Chains A and B, each alone.
Chain A
């Protein structure tokens, strides 16, 4: 049997509720984007229901520790199709067992969530490290990213606490939404880039007059801090995988 949901977190939680109401045995959960009809398998389309989703979430909160709620949420943000299946089975497993069952690393779904969460947390940490703001002429600090996973919800507080006295925008080009901090609150925004805008590097003319100086000083610093006799390219690339170089001021030419 296949359950199809809309890809949202309430949808996933509703799916769990529906399963407990019907107990159809083994079920494969797919998001509607990944779903392709199969000839001999029964399909059930999950209708989002806020009340049902809430009940499942509240139930989870009672059953598992806070750090595991976070792992659950992180796994969901991974947007990996197989993760949905593990989240679904994990939730059923938790409800069918005594409190504390999430510590059973011998269980397939527990281990899977633990791994997804680790990857997502790593990507979150990388964004906290690799985001580089550019100061624009109107005093806004701007950065665009395209992370492997949907980590914007996870980094909001970090940047809000850290850069409390400057306005900033972090924009996810892949998922087409961003965060804007206006010195008081962080709000979700979406920008309509016109076709001729270079989203990675807005034109220099829009930049603060000192922006070039500081990016140059930073590039200089990056070169000076290197010890040539200890060159270790393999380690360098391991820590800063090439796909992140496009973010990094110090990795741009010139």
Chain B
């Protein structure tokens, strides 16, 4: 392969893949027991970060950016005037192996534009996986895109070699998707997601009965929604996410702030700032649902269809529900402690362990990592100062905002003009 041509291909096909934000390399369980290359790290490793602050863990590329579809939100759409390229199967294998050997990456993230048809594309993706696993003894991470419309046999076989599979919902609602990609529907995504999920369940059920069952997508499935290209509310987005977490046991839902790449009038104009703060608030909500025991309806509902921009969703929930506070750190359930603004999972765990040895004081809480200036409005501990009056939620919000320095204040104005 010629030096310059392979560089050009990599530039084109990495550039086209970067809007897929999934970067996770966690959940892999593949061990290096064939004296080959690679060993999965259960928590994943971010090997570097690009200048936009996003982690680089996998070699994320498209096999090709030729595509028969014309989805408005996609940089590789048929009608877009961009340079096209395609890797050969061997080129992808060689790149992956050589990057992995130098400790640049945790593995491969392979996606593709649809050329010819779904099966033709899926076959080639599968071929890359098989070569890596069977010929190169490669045990590193593989995140593979399921190509909607590909045959069940191909998808099932791919699941034997990939660690994670994913299909993107693209738009949070069917209406949004129809607006920008009339050829596609959520049903196209749901069918293969469901098929893979049923197989994961089947394999893990077999595993309980039979000793040697091969791995099948051990790191589970994920999906992605583009945020801010279409006018959905945060409630629409998170209710969709919640449904997909529930129905398909997804490991992750990613929210990708739309970066304008089209001058079509149905979308935000070129040069509009991507909605980074909104994206951040959605991720915070996602975390509250997955790790903090919040129900999505508690955070977003008809009365509050959008997340606050100036404060995070946990604080926002707390000041709307002051009847639960103040919480006595020395007595309350772990579940309630988790709900206190300024206390995370780690400090909540430390609190419940430490209070068995004696009642906790403010200085101890601070040392454990509690953001006390925030938490103090919602808790009592042994030496909490006596509070003469009850503050309203809005007053507390003002206190906290007055002393916090949001890293996003600069971009605030950009956030509000979107809708």
Cβ–Cβ < 8 Å partners of B54 in chain A: 225, 227, 230
Closest chain A residue to B272, Cβ basis: A229
Cβ–Cβ < 8 Å partners of B39 in chain A: 158, 161-162, 164
A105 to B370, CA, bound (A): 12
Give the total number of A-B pairs whose CB atoms are below 8 A apart. 164
Contact of B14 among A129, A141, A225 (CB under 8 A): A225
Contact of A111 among B273, B356, B367 (CB under 8 A): B367
Closest chain B residue to A216, Cβ basis: B7
- Tell whether A214 pairs with B47 under 8 Å between CB atoms, given A162-B38, A221-B59, A225-B56: no
Closest chain B residue to A183, Cβ basis: B35
**What does DSSP make chain A's interface, helix, strand, loop or mixed?**
helix
**Does B60 contact A225, Cβ atoms closer than 8 Å?**
yes
Cβ–Cβ < 8 Å partners of A132 in chain B: 102-104
**Does A103 contact B356, Cβ atoms closer than 8 Å?**
yes
**Does B51 contact A226, Cβ atoms closer than 8 Å?**
yes
What string of 1s and 0s marks CB contacts (under 8 Å) between B15-47 and chain A? 100110000000000011001111101000111
**Does A128 contact B3, Cβ atoms closer than 8 Å?**
no
Contact of B7 among A215, A220, A231, A236 (CB under 8 A): A220
- Which residues of B (314-356) have their CB < 8 Å from a CB of A? 350-351, 353-356
**Does A236 contact B45, Cβ atoms closer than 8 Å?**
no
Cβ–Cβ < 8 Å partners of B101 in chain A: 133, 135, 141, 163, 166
B404 close to chain A: CB less than 8 A: no
What string of 1s and 0s marks CB contacts (under 8 Å) between A218-254 and chain B? 1011111111111111111011100000001110000
B245 close to chain A: CB less than 8 A: no
B118 close to chain A: CB less than 8 A: no
Query: Could you tell me the distance in whole angstroms from the C-beta of A153 to the nearest C-beta in chain B?
Result: 18
Cβ–Cβ < 8 Å partners of A250 in chain B: 48
**Does A129 contact B32, Cβ atoms closer than 8 Å?**
no
Contact of A222 among B7, B45, B50, B260 (CB under 8 A): B50
A85 to B221, CA, bound (A): 48
**Does B35 contact A227, Cβ atoms closer than 8 Å?**
no
**Does B32 contact A162, Cβ atoms closer than 8 Å?**
yes
Cβ–Cβ < 8 Å partners of A231 in chain B: 51-52
Cβ–Cβ < 8 Å partners of A107 in chain B: 357
What string of 1s and 0s marks CB contacts (under 8 Å) between A123-139 and chain B? 00100111111110000
Most chain B CB neighbours (cut-off 10 Å) among A105, A128, A165, A240: A105
Q: Can you offer 26 A-B residue contacts whose CB atoms are under 8 A? A: A103-B356, A105-B364, A106-B354, A106-B361, A131-B103, A132-B103, A162-B37, A162-B38, A164-B37, A166-B37, A216-B7, A217-B7, A223-B11, A224-B11, A224-B14, A225-B15, A225-B60, A226-B18, A229-B273, A229-B274, A230-B53, A231-B51, A232-B276, A238-B53, A239-B55, A250-B48
Inter-chain pairs besides A161-B31, A214-B99, A240-B48, 19 sampled, C-beta below 8 Å: A111-B364, A130-B48, A133-B103, A161-B32, A161-B39, A163-B101, A164-B39, A166-B37, A214-B102, A221-B10, A224-B14, A225-B50, A226-B51, A227-B18, A227-B54, A230-B53, A230-B274, A235-B49, A239-B55
Measuring CB to CB, which residues of chain A are less than 8 angstroms from any residue of chain B?
101, 103-107, 111, 114, 125, 128-135, 141, 143, 158, 161-166, 210, 213-218, 220-236, 238-240, 248-250
Minimum-distance CB pairs A-B, first 7:
A235-B53, A105-B354, A224-B14, A230-B52, A232-B53, A226-B50, A104-B357
